[in-house]
Structure 1
C-alpha cells in the first residue's frame, strides 16, 4: 500500500509537471508514431497486395493460355490416325510388337516436337501387353498397376500428378498432365498421354521480372499441396508449413494481413485458377517492403532518446529554479499554519512569478501580525464588556421587582387599570428580553404582540382592531425574537392611527413545507415610496438610526432576517394608497428553540 510520503511525492508540483509533460507530449507522440507505423505497414501491405494481385492475374491469364494451347497440341497428337491405328489392336507376336514399337516411336518423334512440354509419353491402355515398347521408352510394363495410372485410366477428365525426384529418372519435381483418349470413331479407350512440365517451363510464368529477395511464388493443388515453389522447389510436395496460411486463404481471393512462416513474416496474395484446381500464391517478405520504415523507426528511437534527455534537463531546471523555491515557501506556510510567525520574513530579488510569491507572502505575514495584534486587542475589549454586562446583570431583576411593587400598590389603592398596564409592561419586558436568547417560539412572539397592543390601547385610550389567525401547530415552532412587535408597532403608528374606527390589522401565520409564512396586513394609507426604497439600500446601520425613525422597524426586521437566514428570507412588502399594506415574513423552521 502506498504510504503518505509516497502519496505526497506523487502530488508534488515537480512530479505533476513531469506527469503532465509525459501525458501531453510524450504519450501522444508515441501514440502518433505507433499509429503512423501501423498505417504505413497497412498502406504498404495494401499496395503490395494490389500489385501482386495484378501480377497474379496476368500470370494466371498467361498460364491458362499455355495450358489451353498445350491441351490443343495433345489433342492433335491424340487425333493422329497412325497412332490411333497402332493402338487399335494389341500385338499378338514379338514380331508384331517390334513393328509396333518402331512405327509408334517414328510417329511420335514426328509429332512430339510440336508440343511445348518437357517430355511427352504415350502409353497403351494396357502397358503389360507392350513390354518391348515400354522398355524402349524407359518405363516398366508394370506401370499400369501404379495409382496415378489407374486413376487416369478410370477418369474421363484429364488429371494432374506431381512426380517427386527419383534416382535414375528425374532430378527435379515434374508436374504431369495426364489424359486418357479413346478411338476416333468409338468410345473404346486406346491409351494415355502423359505430358511432363519441368521447373524451367513453369518459371517462365511464375518468375517476376523484378523479384524481391526472398519472394516466393507457389502453385497449390486442391489439397493444399505445393506442386511448384519458385525458390528451389523447397516446399514442393508438402503443405505450406503453417496452418494459419490456409485459414487466411479462406477469407477470400485477396489476403489481408501477414503470416509468420519459419521466423519470416510474409504478405500473402493468392488467386484461384478458373479451369484448373490450382491456386497461385505470392509470398512477399514483409522485411523487404518495410526496410525504409525500419530506418525511420531507428531514427525515431534516436530522436526519442535525445528528446527524453532534453526533457530530463528541463525537469532539473524546473526543480532547481521553481519547485525547490516553491517547496521552501510551502514549508514557511506550514509554520504559519502552526501559528509560528517568528523569523518568517522572506525576500527575493527574482523578478518572475516566484519572486512575486515571496514578496507577497512576506507582505501577508506583516498583515497577519497586524491582524493578530488587533484581534488580541479586540479580545481584551470583549472581556471588559462581558465583565461590565455581568456587573449589570441585576438590572432586569431590579426592574421586574420594581414593576411588581407598583402593580401591588396600584391594586391596594383600587387602581386596577394601572395594575393591569404595569403587568402588561412587565410581561412585554420579560418576553422581549427572553432571558438573553435570540430564539423564542412563535407563540411567545404573539403573546408579546398582544401585551404591546394592550399597552398601546391603554396609553392612547383607543381600541386597536387586530385579528389573529394562526395554525395551532405553528405556535410551538422556534422563532427569532422581536420580529412581529416592530412591524405591529409600525402598522399602528403609520397606518391605522388616524382612523381607529375603520382601520384594522390582520396578523396570520401558516406552515409551508420547511418555512413559516407570517402575513401582517392593514387597510391603511400604505408605506411611502421613499421609505420602501431606503429599505432595500445597503446603508450603514449607524447612519440609518441617526436618520428619521420612520422605517427603522422595517429595516431592522429585514436586516435581522437576512443576517440570520440569508437573502431568501427578507421581507416582502406590497403597499399602495388604495390597497393598504401587506408584509410577508418567510421564516425557516428551526430544529430547536
Structure 2
C-alpha cells in the first residue's frame, strides 16, 4: 500500500509540476501587464474627468462674464460713468455698476477682483482682494487695448498682482452696441480669478507625488507638490509634454533619481492641461502583491497535488461515494434504502450506523404521519359534534313551538318532515352525500322553518343541471341556512328572504347562500373567524366550524367566504368536484 501511494505521489508530482510552473509564470506576466493597463486606464480616466471639470468651471465663469457685460444694464451703466458731468452723477452710476457686479459675482469664490476702465482714464475696482493700484492698472502688459477688437471675453493668462499673489486674468473691450453704426469704445472690463478656485477641483490622491494645472500658454495655474520640487517637476513638463502634439498620454520619467509615471490630459474647450506624477513604487507594490499571490497559489496547488495523490485510492473513495449518494437520496425523504457492507473497518461501522439511522428515521416519520392523521380525524370529529347539537336543538324547539301554537293539527306533517330530515342528516353523519340529497335536506329545513314562522320565509334554491351527483359533506349548508333564517328577519315585519344558488364554476363546486337582512359588521366578521371557542354564540359555531370542516377535509384552495353589508349577507362555499367518496372522516350534518 505504501509503495503504491509513493509511486502515485511521484507520478502526479511529475505530471502536475511542469505545467503548473508554466501556468504560474504565464499568469504572473499576464497579471502584471493587466495591472499596468488597469492603473493607467484608471488614472487617465480620473485625469480626463478632472480636465472636463476645469472646462466646466471656466465655461461657467466666462458665461457669467458674457451675460453681465452684454446686458443693457451694463451698457447703460458704462455710458453713465463715461458721460457723467458731475461727481455726484458719476458716483450714482458707479454705485449702480457696483450693485450689478456684486449681485452677479458677490457670492462667487472664484472672482477676486473686477476692474472697469473708461477711455477717458476713469478706473473703478469692485471687490478687489489684491489692493490694486488703479493708476498703474492700465499700464499692465495684459491690459486690453483697442487691438483686441469687439468680440468676447478673452484670457490674458496668469499675472502677478501688486500684493505678490497671482491671478488668472480675463478681459473684454466694451463698445457701445446702442450705436451700431459707430460701435464706439466705451471702456474695458477685467476679471481677476483666484487660482485657488481650482484647488477644490484638483484633488490630489495620496499616491500622487505632484499635481499640476497649466493654462493654454503653459503657465502654472495650480500646483500641488513640495515647494522645493516644483521647478523640477515643471521642467519635466516642459521637456516632455509641451513639445508633443498628443493631447493626452502616459510618459515614464525620472525625478531626483526616482522613477515616476507622468500622466497628462488636455481639456477639449480651453486647452488647459492637467498633469499627475505617480511614483513607480505604486506599481511595484501591486506587482509584489501579485508575486506573493502567485507564489502562495503555486504552493497551494503543490500541497493539493500531494494530498490528492495520497488520499485517492479505490479502497477509500468507492465506499465513501456510495455512502454520500445514499445520504443525498435520504435527504429527499426516501428511507427505503439499505447498504450492503462486509467491511470490518471504520467505513464498515459508518455504513452500518447509516443503515440503523435510516431504519429509525423511517419508523419515526411513519409514526408522525399516523399521529397527524389521527389528530386531524379527532379534530374533525370534535367539530362535527359541536354543530349537530345546535341543529337538533333548533329543530326540536321549532316542533315544540308549533305543537303549542296549533294544538297538533299540522304537527303530523311537520313531524314527518322532521323525521325525514333527521334520517338523512344524523343517519349519514361523517359521510359524503350526493348534492341532490343535501339540497333536499335544505328544502325540508326551510319548509319546517317557514311553518314555524307563519309563512314569512320566502326562499328559492337553484341547482344547476349536471351537478346533482357531486358528493358534498353532509350538513354543509344547514348551519348557514339556519343563520340566515334566525338573523336576517326584518325587524318590523319578521319576513325573511333567502336565495340559494349551486353551480359548477370551472373546476370547483360553488354554493352561494344569500339573505337580505341587516348584515354583519366588519368587526363582527373578524370575530367570527378569530377563535375556536364560541360558547353560546350559534352564529360563530355555524360559520366557523363549517369553514374548519372544509379546510381540514380539503385544504387549499377550498374555503368558506363571507361578504356582508347593510343590504344583506352572502356566504360562498367552494368545494372540490367529487363523484366517488374518498377515504376521509367528514363531519356529519
| Shorter-chain TM band | 0.3 to 0.5
Q: TM-score, normalised by structure 2?
A: 0.38
Q: Which structure ranks higher in relative contact order (CA pairs < 8 Å, sequence separation ≥ 6)?
A: 2
Q: TM-score, normalised by structure 1?
A: 0.38
Structure with higher Rg: it is 1
